[in-house]
Amino acid sequence: MSLLKLTNVSAGYGQTPVLTNVDMTIDKGDIVCLLGRNGMGKTTLLRSVIGLNKVIKGDIVFDADDITNVPTYKRSRYGIAFIPQGREIIPYLSVLDNLKLGLAASRKKLKKIPDEIFEFFPMLKQHLKRQGGLLSGGQQQQLAIARGLMCNPQIMLLDEPTEGIQPSIVQEIDETLKRINREKGVTLLVVEQKIDFAKQLAQKFFIMEKGAIAAKGKTAELTDSLVRQYLTV
Ligand SMILES: Nc1ncnc2c1ncn2[C@@H]1O[C@H](COP(=O)(O)OP(=O)(O)OP(=O)(O)O)[C@@H](O)[C@H]1O
């Protein structure tokens, strides 16, 4: 069953389109990666789904509701969480206070951080009083994912979650994302540059080229020729 459906979407910055006629369907429960070289429009697509970029044409339907013109702050209440590139941790706030920012977007109107957050991310419990900016890149990424999870999302949109992160933590992030998908049924749409990580994590892929979807399929069938054509630099 489809959870997120973009039909003929053109979107960008002001009236200048970056995305042109994008069709994309993500089914409930799937883990999907969005691949493509730099500047092809992957971030713009995620930002359009969360409402940070204006849709010029086409529509976005989420869980049977047309959200094309719904303001960003309401989209988190629909259950859409966005974990941006660079994580956007507030460096001078503690880990606890960074997490509490996620409470504001909570669909369950949570008053306190649920224990399950620390079951997924035990490391955070040990560092609750530490300033967010003092965590390592990998720890900050885990904090950003945990904060996104606080809104009890149906889907998480992650923009390059492994960027600049050491391999052992990349592995941990892979396992945690799979657990979140399996145990909480959260659908994942992940922009990724590391093809091996994408293949390991996701069952399906979309490839973007110049603001359009150039290829899609199952990651098990992501051929070397597609990788050469659209992904290698
Ligand atoms: N704030 C902005 N104003 C105008 N154009 C922008 C803005 N941000 C990005 N763009 C343009 O939109 C296009 C797509 O950028 P986008 O960041 O979506 O690509 P991407 O595939 O996510 O690339 P990367 O892997 O480098 O993050 C690029 O040509 C970029 O220059």
18 lines ligand 1 (CB under 6 A): yes
Cβ atoms of 190 and 196 closer than 8 Å: no
Which pairing describes strands 31-35 and 204-209: parallel, antiparallel, or unpaired? parallel
3-state secondary structure of 65: strand
* Number of separate domains in the chain: 1
73 lines ligand 1 (CB under 6 A): no
CATH number of the domain that residue 90 is part of: 3.40.50.300
- The whole-model pTM stands at 0.95
pLDDT at 107 (0 to 100): 67
Burial (CB count <10 Å: 0-12, 13-18, 19+), residue 13: exposed
Dist CA 91 CA 99 (whole Å): 12
Substitution candidate for ligand 1 out of 9, 22, 33, 43 with most atoms within 8 A of CB: 43
Ligand 1 mean position to 175 CA, how many Å?
29
pLDDT at 178 (0 to 100): 97
* pLDDT mean by block of 10 residues, the chain; 233 residues: 95 89 97 96 96 93 94 88 87 92 74 90 94 93 94 94 90 95 97 93 96 96 89 84
Domain carrying residue 211 = 2-231
Ligand 1 mean position to 133 CA, how many Å?
26
Minimum-distance ligand 1 atom for the alpha carbon of 47 = 18
Residue nearest to atom 31 of ligand 1 (CA): 39
